[in-house]
């Protein structure tokens, strides 16, 4: 591929949930802490909501690999489109309960409770994590609620984590799932990146792969990547990977805005301009409160943002280096020790 052309040790924009490339914004770091707390404290039900591609699976795996969850044994389901019988057999297999437990739900529950009690007596917590939980049938969600009822007089035996797209949150608000919603003790929502986060994310992945971000992407290219991806990490990866491959094919060592235009046109992605900040308050008016840490100043905002939505088109001579973009400092490499302190 293009590793040697750009001086990289590996491909930086693969779509696998590689913890080596873990990048945490403030909101994602908070979500990671919530997931860890829900697991090692054996909370009944933790819910993680986020659009497709926002990094839910990566955060789940990072939480399970952290030192805080060193005593947590996890059963991880990433294909929850099952009927009740398949669900029983899957749990019996994943929890290593034996063939007899897979023959009926009652045998499964009896054997599972006995195993959970044995493990808890040894100081181990066993958790069930379900990814893509928005695809679960109502019947399976009810089965999960019943599993969450396993307890002793002092503690829950099987903490659950449900991760899914916003449809999961909408389903939890329906009357038929009100009993399940009442068991939600922790909830976190992942949001798309701001433009500064996108710049830092790209820079972090390039550096991790041994590259120099300023020599690979211009500022204009990064801004358009953010607009066309809408701040979704998976889409950022797809755009960057295609852009680097295209640049290599054309013999160009720097990805410019025009290259992103071509890539996004081929991928049928359209730009969503960066939203301008709220106007300053006039005398006698109070300025509305805003979240801090991710806002852009007028100096940082691209000219296209003030002009409103516009067709994607290349601009000749746009060669401002990536390093001039004022983005947040990329987080240090993932360290479970730091998170545990």
What is the per-residue pLDDT for 274?
A: 58
Q: Which residues pair with 125 in a beta bridge?
A: 72
Residue with tokens 């659009």: 51
Report domain extents, the chain: 3-13+193-276+296-331, 26-190
| Topology annotation, domain 26-190 | Rossmann fold (3.40.50)
What is the per-residue pLDDT for 112?
A: 93
Which 3 state secondary structure label does DSSP give 117? helix
Element housing 323 (H / E): none
Q: Which residues pair with 118 in a beta bridge?
A: none
pLDDT digits (tens, 9 = 90+) for 1-41: 899 999 999 999 999 888 889 999 999 999 999 999 999 99
State the average pLDDT over residues 147-153: 90
Beta carbons of 129 and 161 less than 8 angstroms apart: yes
Q: How many CA atoms lie within 13 A of 1 on its CB side?
A: 13
| Nearest CA-CA partner of 218 in 240, 237, 234, 193 | 240
Check whether 331 has a pLDDT greater than 80: no
What is the per-residue pLDDT for 79?
A: 81
d(CA 244, CA 180): 46
- C-alpha distances in angstroms, 104 versus 117, 157, 168, 253? 20, 21, 28, 61
Which 3 state secondary structure label does DSSP give 113? helix
Q: How many CA atoms lie within 13 A of 43 on its CB side?
A: 19
d(CA 332, CA 334): 6
Check whether 214 has a pLDDT greater than 90: yes
Q: What is the rounded radius of gyration, in angstroms, for the C-alpha atoms of the chain?
A: 23
What is the per-residue pLDDT for 67?
A: 93
d(CA 326, CA 312): 23
Element housing 78 (H / E): none
What is the per-residue pLDDT for 18?
A: 86
Q: How many CA atoms lie within 13 A of 159 on its CB side?
A: 24
d(CA 24, CA 85): 39
d(CA 46, CA 106): 25
What is the per-residue pLDDT for 173?
A: 95
């Amino acid at each position: 591929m293009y590793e040697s052309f750009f001086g990289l040790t590996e491909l930086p924009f693969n779509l696998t949930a590689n913890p080596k490339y873990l990048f945490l914004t403030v909101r994602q770091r908070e979500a990671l802490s919530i997931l860890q707390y829900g697991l090692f404290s054996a909370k009944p039900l933790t819910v993680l909501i986020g659009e497709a591609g926002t990094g839910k699976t990566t955060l789940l795996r990072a939480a399970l690999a952290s030192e805080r969850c060193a005593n947590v044994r996890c059963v991880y389901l990433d294909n929850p489109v099952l009927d009740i019988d398949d669900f029983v057999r899957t749990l019996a297999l994943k929890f290593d309960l034996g063939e007899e437990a897979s023959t009926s739900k009652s045998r499964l529950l009896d054997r599972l409770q006995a195993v959970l009690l044995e493990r808890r007596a040894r100081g181990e917590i066993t958790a069930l994590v379900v990814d893509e939980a928005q695809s679960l049938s109502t019947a399976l969600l009810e089965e999960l609620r019943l599993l969450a009822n396993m307890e002793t007089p002092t503690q829950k035996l099987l903490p659950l984590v449900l991760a899914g797209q916003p449809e999961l949150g909408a389903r939890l608000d329906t009357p038929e799932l009100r009993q399940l919603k009442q068991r939600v003790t922790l909830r976190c929502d992942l949001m798309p990146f701001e433009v500064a986060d996108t710049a830092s994310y790209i820079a972090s992945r390039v550096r991790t792969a041994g590259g120099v971000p300023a020599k690979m992407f211009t500022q204009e290219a990064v801004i358009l990547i953010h607009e066309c991806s809408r701040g979704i990490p998976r889409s950022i990866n797809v755009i960057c990977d295609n852009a680097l491959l295209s640049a290599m094919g054309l013999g160009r060592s720097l990805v410019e805005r025009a290259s992103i235009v071509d890539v996004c046109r081929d991928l049928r992605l359209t730009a969503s301009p960066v939203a301008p900040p709220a106007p300053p308050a006039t005398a006698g008016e109070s300025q509305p409160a805003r979240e801090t840490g991710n806002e852009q100043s007028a100096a940082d905002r691209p000219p296209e943002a003030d002009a409103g939505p516009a067709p994607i088109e290349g601009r000749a001579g746009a060669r401002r280096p990536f390093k001039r973009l004022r983005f947040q400092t990329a987080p240090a490499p993932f360290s479970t020790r730091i998170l545990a302190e």
